[in-house]
Structure 1
Amino acid sequence: MSTPSPVTRRHELLTLTLACAGSFVAIMDATIVSVALPDIRATLGFSPSALTWVVNAYTLAFAGFLLLGGRCADVFGLRRMYLAGTALFTVARLAGGFAGSAELLLVARAVQGLGGALLMPVTLSLLTTTFTDPARKAKALGTWSAVGAIGAAAGPVLGGVLMQWAGWRSVFFVTVPIGIAAMLAAPAVIARGDRSAARPRLDFVGATLATAGLVGVVYGVMRSAVAGWDSAEVLGALVGGAVLLVLFLVHQAKWARDPLLSLGVFRLRAVSSGNVVMMLVGLGFFASPILLSLYLQDVHGYTPLQAGLGYLPVGVAMFAGAKFAGAVSVRLGPRRATVLYCLVGAAGFAALAALIGADRSYLVSVLVPGAVFGFGTASAFTPITLAATTGVPAHQNGLAAGLLNTVRQTSSAVGLAVLTTISAGVAASWSAAHQDGPDSPGALSHGYSVAFAVSAACVVVAAIAAATLMPRVPGGSPRAPGRATGSPDGRERPPRTESSGTAPAGRDGGR
């Protein structure tokens, strides 16, 4: 590992801090609000069916605009998009906290999702462009993943504490100071970029097709838990979203002058395989906080705050795994590290599936297997991210980050819907066979057990996919003769620094 100068180290530390701050608030926002839903309903008069949209409005906008957010980072530069995303997110948080009606809160939540979608790809691009040394990049990505794990695990706990002492509005206000501090610091840390460089057009047609298609698919998946997979509403959303996404791909391949998603990036084996593995891991992992919280509340009678505290050791293990993963990923390589970590995570999920039950202790059935799957799966995100962003030209760093985050968010929605459906279906079948109520601890624990077994299977398949699809050497397939250097789609591109953000403060970015 090369030794950077003190100025470079300081710039890297500040950049990492900004990236982690943005990731933390965007990820924690998806979990912290859930504990406040009963009080929000009582204050603003939400109907039971509309209350879920306090969470869904954010999730839909976040998932739908991630790909656009990644491309905007390439077109308009990292500093502009970091400031724009953070500003939208922070203002929307304030508006949500002061909301006096259900309608205003839902609008604020949708705007928050848009802000998060603009911000999240930038946080990853900042790291992949600032940290050029492989070992330092892996360490930075491990820290970024660890902070995200803290955000996911801290949301229910912090939300429960705030609800007890300060009321539901404080749940929206708590991250506002972080947003303000980040906006004040960003201009001095993130480079302005070269304004003289040619700027590609933003593909508005492609952006509309991609966003509408992703929203349709995610909406259909989310509604399936309530309306059922065979309902006209769910099928219409899924089919309509899929058709729009197919049109989007055709538009990118044949008609777009400056594609939103250059399909040539998938020729990079590391990128394509990394996203496949991320989808498989996400299907099994991202539903685990909600499923485990529901299990502790439904089967063991925990309060929401107790359930959040019960998940906290899993979050600590996730943090430790993510911090540990960087060095191991460099030593073993992304492929072998991903396989190793996925197998550890799958073992934890399998143990959880085998050990949970109404008469089992928390220590044996949740804490130990939860720490194992948390450590393994959180560790896997670092080598997967390294692979999925390796070999991508500088002018497409935002695209790679947006694509990976889109895959993560989509797999989260699909995994949650599928696993909760499996859990409910198995619980109903078990109760019918044993002449017990579907809400009995025995039926519910059996349903959650099967759901966690499916999670284990998904992560095992991810390990197999990593072993067979990911390249031995980071960077993907060799370039075909005659293909433009540094351009996955084979087009010559002028060198650009608009989105790199790598210049230390005090050059062109600190003015």
Structure 2
Amino acid sequence: MGEGVMTGQERRVLALACAGTFVVIMDATIVSVALPDIRSGLGFSAALLPWVVNAFTLAFAGFLLLGGRLSDVFGQRRVFVAGMGLFTVARLVCGFVGSPELLLAARAVQGFGGALLVPVTLSLLITTFTVPKRRTRALGLWSAVGAAGATAGPVIGGLLTQWAGWRWVFFISVPIGVVTVAAALSVLPPRERPAVRARLDLAGAGMSTAGLVGVVYAVMRSSAVGWTSPEVLGSLGGGLVLLAVFVVHQGRWARAPLVALSVLRLRTVSSGNVVMLLLGLGFFASPVLLSLYLQDVHGYAPLRAGLGYLPVGLAMFVGAQVAGPLTVRLGARRAAVLCCLVGALGCFAMTALIGADSSYAVSVVVPGAVFGFGTAAAFTPITVAATGGVPPEQGGLAAGLLNTVRQTSGAIGLAVLTTLSAAAARSWAEDHPHSGGSQAPHALAHGYTVAFAVSSAWIAAAALVAALTMPRPPSGSTPAPPAAPPSSRGAGATGQDTDAAAAAERA
């Protein structure tokens, strides 16, 4: 069989991984559209409504590292089935609940299920696809499905909410979950019982989860109460202290570390995660910023704004499809640099073109398509790099680590950019006292211009860091990812949860 032709087993595993990624990524954007109807249907208060999103996001971000490690300890089949099963049952419960408290509890369980599921989907791909060319192609397809989920969410959510009711945004993915669990039990082989049972670092899991939850909670609350609030500073400080103790624990005290620090000494892993951090800061806020720009500045209804994002989403899908062959041809380093530069160019063009008097085609469609194509394509080579050279038994860990970086960077980027946008709008209104205030279209447009300018700078920084730190392929070899082991998400896999968080704050 040729190097580029997938085997039947590889195609089945790819389908499972794509299904898992699709439902988790689609969840964030599909739920955000239904928030106003959920508020009226269950009697949520304005203060409590954002927690429909936040409960999921906190559980998801907090347990990603543990989820990745669990797949290494207990096997990919068990963790995939457990993650998809929890996620699906929780969504079914969400559709039937009759009180805000039950919905929030079910959303937290759903977030935990997603934290188990997402790292193992990438781990499955990299352990199954041992031929570099086929692995890179699989990662590109997986990223494209993630982009499709992120794009489809607002459209499907708007249609379901309008025509069938908000409960159907939860019911819609239940059949996918049931079929995927049954297929996983049939397709994925049981894990052979190891001679020595692997240990699980429960103390480290507790510290990392609590620390990540503290940091992400502080970032999410900052947009509502401000960065100087004692609530935000206390949560952020406590989370950072716990994470610092966690690192010391992993290096000195833990017998079986949750995160083997030796993995971070691999240049591919450390550089890939830094590049992902910078790209996530600039990329994951874009759907929210564009949606708010279309609604606040041009007066679009939420569903129309969701449809308005479709050209960007389609460009993301195409970019993710192109990323695999491009990474094989250029190598992970050069492909990551090129794609980040294209994404930064598109984002900078949006910075220059958006405005209260700009047309939708000029300010969103053309520059947004360039931005979406470049940034979505960048995830595949970065993922290839960040998982290269990792031993197979640490594949889940690498996946969980990369997903954690992506999720946290997305939350931080969204909070910082929305705060900057609001501050810039106020400043513009103060300089133009007869403009109508900080909520006037021209003031808001100026705020979004500043936000996109910072986004483009972060994405350009990702290109620079990739060029300086990611290793070059060995001279004389065909650029391709290392033929070893496993890790985490490409284009759409859940930084989109942070997008829904901002939508929840607005609702």
Q: TM-score range by the shorter chain?
A: over 0.9
The answer to whether the 8 Å contact 1:334/1:474 transfers is no
| 1:195-344 superposed matches below 5 A | 195-344=193-342
TM-score by length of 2: 0.92
The Cα of 1:198 is off from its aligned counterpart by 2.2
In structure 2, how many angstroms separate the alpha carbons of the residues matched to 1:294 and 1:125? 35
Partner of 2:364: helix, strand, or coil? helix
The answer to whether the 8 Å contact 2:3/2:134 transfers is no
Aligned residues: 478
Q: What does residue 439 of structure 1 align with?
A: 439
Q: What does residue 493 of structure 2 align with?
A: none
Q: What does residue 106 of structure 1 align with?
A: 104
The answer to whether the 8 Å contact 2:34/2:166 transfers is yes
Q: Do residues 22 (structure 1) and 16 (structure 2) align? A: no
The Cα of 1:4 is off from its aligned counterpart by 7.8
In structure 1, how many angstroms separate the alpha carbons of the residues matched to 2:4 and 2:470? 30
In structure 1, how many angstroms separate the alpha carbons of the residues matched to 2:293 and 2:324? 32
In structure 2, how many angstroms separate the alpha carbons of the residues matched to 1:470 and 1:260? 25
Q: Which amino acid aligns with 1:222?
A: M
Q: Which amino acid aligns with 2:24?
A: A
Partner of 1:167: helix, strand, or coil? coil
The answer to whether the 8 Å contact 2:3/2:131 transfers is no
- Flag structure 2 segments of 5+ consecutive residues without an equivalent: 476-482, 488-507
The answer to whether the 8 Å contact 2:144/2:321 transfers is yes
Deviations 1:149-194 (A, max 9, x none): 1111111111001011100000000000000000010012112121
In structure 2, how many angstroms separate the alpha carbons of the residues matched to 1:474 and 1:273? 17
Distance 1:271 1:320, change over 3 A: same
In structure 1, how many angstroms separate the alpha carbons of the residues matched to 2:196 and 2:329? 39
User: CA-atom RMSD, angstroms?
Assistant: 1.7
Q: Which amino acid aligns with 1:417?
A: A
The answer to whether the 8 Å contact 2:333/2:467 transfers is yes
The Cα of 1:52 is off from its aligned counterpart by 0.4
The answer to whether the 8 Å contact 2:26/2:153 transfers is yes
In structure 2, how many angstroms separate the alpha carbons of the residues matched to 1:396 and 1:178? 29
The Cα of 1:3 is off from its aligned counterpart by 3.9
Q: What does residue 91 of structure 1 align with?
A: 89
Q: Which amino acid aligns with 1:425?
A: A
| 1:396-435 superposed matches below 5 A | 396-435=394-433
| 1:5-20 superposed matches below 5 A | 9-20=7-18
Q: What does residue 448 of structure 1 align with?
A: 448
Q: What does residue 378 of structure 1 align with?
A: 376
The answer to whether the 8 Å contact 1:270/1:474 transfers is no
From 74, 80, 93, the counterpart of 1:82: 80
Q: Do residues 356 (structure 1) and 354 (structure 2) align? A: yes
The Cα of 1:2 is off from its aligned counterpart by 4.0
- Flag structure 1 segments of 5+ consecutive residues without an equivalent: 476-485, 488-496, 501-511
The Cα of 1:43 is off from its aligned counterpart by 1.2
In structure 2, how many angstroms separate the alpha carbons of the residues matched to 1:466 and 1:284? 15
Percent sequence identity is 68
| 1:56-67 superposed matches below 5 A | 56-67=54-65
The answer to whether the 8 Å contact 1:333/1:474 transfers is no
In structure 1, how many angstroms separate the alpha carbons of the residues matched to 2:474 and 2:168? 45
Deviations 1:101-155 (A, max 9, x none): 0000000100010000000001000100000111111100000111111111111
Q: Which amino acid aligns with 2:439?
A: D
The answer to whether the 8 Å contact 1:283/1:455 transfers is yes
Q: What does residue 191 of structure 1 align with?
A: 189
The answer to whether the 8 Å contact 2:67/2:400 transfers is yes
After TM superposition, the structure 1 stretch with the greater mean CA deviation from structure 2, 270-279 or 195-204, is: 195-204
From 105, 116, 119, the counterpart of 1:118: 116
In structure 2, how many angstroms separate the alpha carbons of the residues matched to 1:45 and 1:474? 61
In structure 1, how many angstroms separate the alpha carbons of the residues matched to 2:302 and 2:275? 32
The Cα of 1:227 is off from its aligned counterpart by 0.5
Deviations 1:34-75 (A, max 9, x none): 111111111111110110000111111110000000000000
TM-score by length of 1: 0.92
Partner of 1:302: helix, strand, or coil? coil
Partner of 1:33: helix, strand, or coil? helix
Q: Which amino acid aligns with 2:366?
A: V
From 41, 44, 47, the counterpart of 1:46: 44
In structure 1, how many angstroms separate the alpha carbons of the residues matched to 2:312 and 2:205? 37
Q: What does residue 460 of structure 2 align with?
A: 460
After TM superposition, the structure 1 stretch with the greater mean CA deviation from structure 2, 358-367 or 193-202, is: 193-202
From 52, 55, 59, the counterpart of 2:53: 55
Distance 1:279 1:4, change over 3 A: closer
The Cα of 1:196 is off from its aligned counterpart by 3.6
Structure 1 runs, 4 residues or longer, greater than 2 Å off: 1-5, 196-199
Deviations 1:304-359 (A, max 9, x none): 11001000111100000000010110111100100000000000000001100111
Q: What does residue 363 of structure 2 align with?
A: 365
Partner of 1:198: helix, strand, or coil? coil
In structure 1, how many angstroms separate the alpha carbons of the residues matched to 2:466 and 2:453? 20
The answer to whether the 8 Å contact 1:278/1:384 transfers is yes
Q: Do residues 170 (structure 1) and 141 (structure 2) align? A: no
The answer to whether the 8 Å contact 2:4/2:133 transfers is no
Q: What does residue 130 of structure 2 align with?
A: 132
Deviations 1:276-299 (A, max 9, x none): 000000000000001100110001
